[in-house]
Amino acid sequence: MAATPHIPANNEALDAAERVPSAADLDTLSRQLGRPVRDVAEIGARCVCGNPLVATTAPRLSSGIPFPTTYYLTHPVITAAVSRLEAAGEMMGMSERLAADPDLAAAYRAAHEHYLAVRDAIGARTGVGPVPEIAGISAGGMPTRVKCLHVLVGHSLAAGPGVNPLGDEALEKISEWWTKDRCYCAGAWDTTGEAPNRDRSRHVKTQAGDPAEKKRARAAARAALAAGQPAGESAGESAQGRDGGIA
């Protein structure tokens, strides 16, 4: 059996200053994901233009819940490309090769060890400290299986090449759609209006039971009815658009 090669935990693509998330980074992450991001500790990898590719989460959330998945792919172009690989059955072939190739298995185990070590380091530098609940548990199926290529690619991008062999391989296989030497950000997410933030959750809460909102919705429905349109959301919207013209 091949010996597990050792990869130092400080094998990270970005240096300490580059990892610090700015307010603009958090805004971009929310736009990329289409929802407000929470508990982002660092940026794990960046586009050549500087935009985040990977969000790094500390091993314990602010709510106290242990969180084993350190790296999350956020760039829509990469996540879509990796989803295509998964849909094409790539993980099954990788799992079979892991079982048959001791050198690959050893390199993948080393990637698992690196993941754990760097997660400990992130826990230490974010003040979270050790998280015994998830000790020895990494993500993506490591160390012996392949269950999520997004996790492996996120790890490869955050660690740099030569750390996660299957993440590196997946990156190679998506090169038709994304490569690290080019910017694919233009048009990849909605940059108009406000980023998803607390305003959205307030909106949801409002819809759930705010009396003023209900009154407004009823008024819109009545207006739509008066205008001869079927009641419903689209009717409400068009009634809103004609405020003043009806009634």
Q: Which of 49/135 has CB closer to Zn ion?
A: 49
For tokens 């910017």, the residue is: 183
CB of 185 to Zn ion, least distance (A): 3
CB of 44 to Zn ion, least distance (A): 15
SS3 of the chain: the string is CCCCCCCCCCCCCCCHHHHCCCHHHHHHHHHHHCCCCCCEEEEEEECCCCCEEEEEECCECCCCCECCCCEEECCHHHHHHHHHHHHCCHHHHHHHHHHHCHHHHHHHHHHHHHHHHHHHHHHHHCCCCCCHHHCCCCCCCCCCCCCCHHHHHHHHHHHCCCCCHHHHHHHHHCCCCCCCCCCCCCCCCCCCCCCCCHHHHHHHHHHHHCHHHHHHHHHHHHHHHHCCCCCCHHHHHHHHHCCCCCC
CB of 114 to Zn ion, least distance (A): 26
Cα(40)–Cα(61) distance, rounded to whole angstroms?
9
Q: Which residues of this chain interact with Zn ion, rule CB under 5 A? A: 47, 49, 51, 183, 185
Q: Which of 51/56 has CB closer to Zn ion?
A: 51
Q: Which of 176/244 has CB closer to Zn ion?
A: 176
CB of 53 to Zn ion, least distance (A): 8
Q: Which of 149/185 has CB closer to Zn ion?
A: 185
CB of 85 to Zn ion, least distance (A): 21
Q: Which of 183/247 has CB closer to Zn ion?
A: 183
Q: Which of 18/96 has CB closer to Zn ion?
A: 18
CB of 31 to Zn ion, least distance (A): 13
